[in-house]
Amino acid sequence: MLRRSLSRLCAGEEKRVGTRTVVVGHRPVSETDAYVAQKFCDNRIVSSKYTLWNFLPKNLFEQFRRIANFYFLIIFLVQVIVDTPTSPVTSGLPLFFVITVTAIKQGYEDWLRHRADNEVNKSNVFIVENAKQVQKESEKIKVGDIVEVKADETFPCDLIFLASSSSDGTCYVTTASLDGESNFKTHYAVRDTTVLCTDEAIDTLTATIECEQPQPDLYKFVGRIIIYRSNQEPVARSLGPENLLLKGATLKNTKKIYGVAVYTGMETKMALNYQGKSQKRSAVEKSINAFLIVYLCILLSKATVCTTLKYVWQSNPFNDEPWYNEKTKKERETFKVLRMFTDFLSFMVLFNFIIPVSMYVTVEMQKFLGSFFISWDKEMYDEEIKEGALVNTSDLNEELGQVEYVFTDKTGTLTENSMEFIECCIDGHKYKDCISEVDGFTQTDGPLKYGKAEKSREELFLRALCLCHTVQIKEADQVDGLIGHPERKYTYISSSPDEIALVKGAEKYGFTFLGLENDFMKIRNQKNETEMYQLLHVLNFDPVRRRMSVIVRTTTGKLLLFCKGADSSIFPRVQQEEIQQTKVHVDRNAMDGYRTLCVAFKELTQKEYDKIDRQLNEAKMALQDREEKMAKVFEDTEADMHLIGATAVEDRLQEQSAETIEALHTAGMKVWVLTGDKMETAKSTCYACRLFQTSTELLELTVKVVGENERKEDRLHELLMEYHKKLIQDVPKNRGGLKRSWTLSQEYGLIIDGSTLSLILNPSQDSSSSNYKNIFLQICLKCTAVLCCRMAPLQKAQIVRMVKNTKGSPITLSVGDGANDVSMILEAHVGIGIKGKEGRQASRNSDYAVPKFKHLRKLLLAHGHLYYVRIAHLVQYFFYKNLCFILPQFLYQFFCGFSQQPLYDAAYLTMYNICFTSLPILAYSLLEQHINIDTLTSDPQLYMKVSDNAMLQWRPFLYWTFLGAFEGLVFFFGVYFLFQNSSLEDNGKVFGNWTFGTIVFTVLVFTVTLKLALDTRFWTWMNHFVIWGSLAFYVFFSFFWGGVIWPFLKQQRMYFVFAHMLTSLSTWLAIILLIFISLFPEILLIVLKNIKEKSHQTGPFDLPRLVSYKRIENGYVKTEDAVTNLAERHPLRIL
């Protein structure tokens, strides 16, 4: 019987896959049918990565996948297995420190996730069983359970809404924890179950739910419920997103609701949304890997040279086997090749510290701790929404300082998304301002068409505005944070600000929407009479159709369809002779920068309505391809309509958005606006926000220019070749070679729309030009600004991907505020979400979120610039100090017969990177401000000084490498010449090799630390503490290490060495002199630079590394000394 009933209900439906059947309340449909419970996952949420048992192996496996960690593990194993000159502790302890610190950090983060999971999983919920409420833990909810949720509680799993305490079967929900939207959303119970609003009543329900398998889209749901009643045919109802209550959402302004669990635990939409976000990597990591390869080559070459020279030196029998050190029998019988390989490994171990393993931990700590400065920035805190900036990933901080292309949405990003009704036109007549009850609308001066429309047409237009929307009414005192009109006791709620503006516009002109009650929409007309309209169907808005419709029945039985939408989607569906008179107004309003919507209607016969009703219900009942089937019905229904008029709504520019775009442009970034709006509206906004200047020559590739006939591809080809010739072929080559300089004296702007872009990216098969895309891209890259209008969300991502994959891989940044911007935010190197009024999908999927577009200026020009300079300096400094460390060890081999004798004590080898030199560079990389933040923000040209990864190019890398090599030579040979006088004490005692190594090490530690002090421009108490504290700790440790006889050491080779060394005046003088000689080139550069600046009458304006910074060539700054002049305007005091 069940199968027969279902087949009748769903006649003609194709075989379905990927669906699940849920039995409501676990009650079988028929007593004769055996009930076999389906197996679904439980309601436990698991966001943690590790368990107590797998933490150690899993974490170690992940850490050793990193090349540097794996390399040091191999070195450590070689030290354990092979007889090497240094103790395994020297490699093992730093590696252990790095692994332990990382494991503790990841373990702590995972413990927090475990704790958060337990709070959710152990929370109490109420389930209806046998007409009674049973309290259970949330994790014990099963699919099919009927759950009761009370006001202000969060939904414990994804529920189908069955009934509520409200008689109309509605409830209000906030989804702030899911998508950040704080506005109330209305959800609707299944029509046939709204009366089951008690425990006893809901327990009598016998029903099954068929729905799609879990998928992460928060705004899509397809299903149907089949309700069985005794001695009656089963009733089937469609289920959509309006019937689904999502886990994590909160019930508001409703005493209680009943729902049946359909998705639980890790199959809820909330859990599915926390998985699968792609990992982005910064350009700095690529530079680090390239530098590592260079230093690995240096290491291999050192080991190879020493191994070769050892055997050359030992070719002399006296050197190979002196009389005091004869070889054993085993050594003589060992294969020479094996001995050479063992020696090679020993030298690798001896020099392995040239690879900075601790750099990875320091970089991670710098990124993690540095990201807090963005969150703490008070200037990026917005009083209106009471929120500041948010960092979703700290891996890309330095990428903010390297952006070349900025792709921005318009509505809600450049504009406020705060709509105000400005004017409208009815049958070509323009109306503005308020109306009088007697005369109707009043006209403004200078209308395009004089006179007024018929009174009936005016009323029809206003009724359309009052009826064609999804606005809800809520009592003002019941809605948190919403303040209604002072003259009314209610406020309008909608997910779209446009709809509220239109309803308020109609209210201003005498027609007031009073709300929806029991499927009847109430409006009050100009005569203060209440009109009732039965709402039969809502054809919801979607970005593809770009329109929405309602079908209503009047009290006289007349059936009307009202439709509103973009002109491009309405005009093709109305009578063609009605278009022109309205189109004039629409174009004029768009030129003024207003958002326009057209309004149309159609009267339906009962027969037409019955057909539409049947088709809509069939489409709604489909489990497969529901959206496509409904779109087909919508397309057929919204045809042959009559145009009534159009509306104009103003969306004001955000505060300082024009200044921000101007600053980004001055900083060398190219700004592209990608919007779904009309070309005229977007173009007007681009002029207002200074993307286009009055001097900018605009090149258009739009339907208006290309045309829509058969020759449109030929016309497009002609335009592309014309623009290509103008921008590229006729312009002389730029010899400067600077990547970011405009090569054109005339600025060009490009405007393209979605349909033309589709033609370029997907030309027809018989098209003669398959290289449209390359020509178009060359034109785009030569334009100072680009406007892409009428863009679909995927087209936005296509544009970003196209630019991102061009030669040179420019760093791209996308910024948007709505769900339609998510695809381009995920596509770009850096994604910025605006915490706007279109929900929080953009900020949830972004790398960084800011309250307003204006905050982008400081985020990039100040934070981005500083983050890049800090981390670039950190990377170069690490390689430099490790080269200084190991080069004397390499040179020492030439004076000890290549015997692999270490120069430094094992304790110094171990603690050099861990303790003696780690904290100063970490503090520098967090706190350094080589230029004042206000200066960086107010002078965008400084951003170009670090553009194109300037501080991590090969030139500055070679500079640091040669500096490290020079200082290493000074350390070794300076001490070597000191030791030419074998007696450094008055009593004639001779210092040994450990004293030699300790003097070299002391000069090394002091030099690399003081080098960082010379580079520091922004001194804080923390810098002073870690720099001078590190040096004091080294001295203290050396006294302590050499002042005690340690029982666990076989040889007490450092006993009293450091203290004894400092008794010699010659040693003191040598240390001070060598430190000065090592730092002399740096000091000389700073002095010469200051003299040059003073000769230009400038203040002491200094940058951290002369060779790491680029000069700004012509194009952005007219004179070569532009930055010098900049320093005159903003002198900084060196502390």
pLDDT digits (tens, 9 = 90+) for 781-817: 888 889 998 777 778 888 888 888 888 889 999 998 8
Residue 765 pLDDT level (bands cut at 50, 70, 90) = low
pLDDT at 543: 63
Strands 244-245, 170-175: pairing is unpaired
pLDDT > 60? residue 384? yes
pLDDT of residue 709: 64
- Residue 539's pLDDT is what? 87
Q: Which residues are catalytic?
A: 409
Residues 858-889 have pLDDT tens digits of 999 999 999 999 999 999 999 999 999 999 99
Asked whether the predicted pLDDT for residue 943 surpasses 50, the reply is yes
Q: Which of 282-286, 662-666, 768-772, 1117-1121 has the lowest mean pLDDT?
A: 1117-1121
Q: What pLDDT, on a 0 to 100 scale, did the predictor assign at position 599?
A: 93
How confident is the model at residue 873, as a pLDDT?
Answer: 92
Q: Which residue has the higher pLDDT, 305 or 105?
A: 305
Asked if the model's pLDDT at residue 823 lies above 90, the reply is no
The pLDDT value recorded for residue 731 is 62
Collapsing DSSP states into helix, strand and coil, what is residue 463? helix
pLDDT of residue 988: 55
Report the C-alpha gap between 965 and 118 in whole angstroms.
Answer: 55
Return the SS3 of 980.
Answer: coil
How many Cα atoms occupy the beta-carbon half-sphere of 451 within 13 Å?
6
Query: Average per-residue pLDDT in the chain?
Result: 80
Rounded-to-integer distance, Cα 140 and Cα 143, Å: 10
Q: What is residue 895's predicted lDDT score, i.e. its pLDDT?
A: 85
DSSP string, 398-409: GGGGS--EEEE-
CA atoms within 13 A on the CB side of 513: 29
The confidence score (pLDDT) of residue 1048 equals: 65
**Terminal alpha carbon distance of the chain:** 89
Kindly tell me the burial class for residue 1035, based on how many C-beta atoms sit within 10 Å of its own C-beta (0-12, 13-18, 19 or more). middle
Percentage, residues of the chain above pLDDT 70: 83
The tokens for 496 are 């779209």
Q: How far apart are CA 831 and CA 406, in angstroms?
A: 10
Query: For 767, how many CA atoms within 13 A lie in the half-sphere containing its CB?
Result: 20
* Confidence check: pLDDT of 107 > 50: yes
**Confidence label for 841 from pLDDT (cuts 50, 70 and 90):** low
Mean pLDDT within 316-327: 65
Of the two residues 585 and 89, the one the predictor is more confident about is 585
pLDDT at 932: 87
Q: Which of 311, 186, 298 is CA-nearest to residue 899?
A: 311
Tokens of 190: 């299944």
Nearest of 648, 645, 613, 596 to residue 538 by alpha carbon? 613
Strand partners, 419: 651
Tell me what pLDDT residue 323 has: 59
pLDDT at 1026 over 70: yes
The structure tokens listed for 693 are: 């200047």
Please tell me the least confidently modeled range out of 71-85, 218-232, 1018-1032: 71-85
Model confidence at 1028: pLDDT above 90: yes
Least confident of 170-174, 449-453, 717-721: 449-453
- Check residue 1102 and give its pLDDT: 44
Alpha helices in 556-710 (DSSP H): 567-570, 579-591, 606-621, 626-637, 657-666, 679-688, 703-706
* Res 1011: pLDDT: 93
Asked if the model's pLDDT at residue 833 lies above 80, the reply is yes
Reported as a pLDDT band with limits 50, 70 and 90, residue 960 is very high
Question: Any idea which of 537-546, 989-998, 1125-1134 has the lowest mean pLDDT?
Answer: 1125-1134
Q: Flag whether pLDDT at 854 surpasses 80.
A: yes
Greater model confidence, 469 or 479: 469
Per-residue pLDDT tens over the stretch 120-166: 888 899 999 888 889 999 999 999 999 999 988 889 999 999 998 88
pTM over 0.75: no
**What one-character-per-residue DSSP string does 16-49 give?**
P-SEEEEEGGG--S-SSS---PPP---S-----S
Q: What is the mean pLDDT of residues 1049-1067?
A: 76
What distance in Å separates the CA atoms of residue 522 and residue 779, rounded to the nearest whole number?
Answer: 54
pLDDT at 6: 43
Residue closest to 598 by CA, chosen among 547, 542, 543? 547
Degrees to nearest 5, angle at CA 916 with 289 and 352: 40
For 742-752, what is each residue's pLDDT tens digit?
444 578 888 98
Query: Would you place residue 772 in the very low, low, confident or very high pLDDT band (cuts 50, 70, 90)?
Result: confident
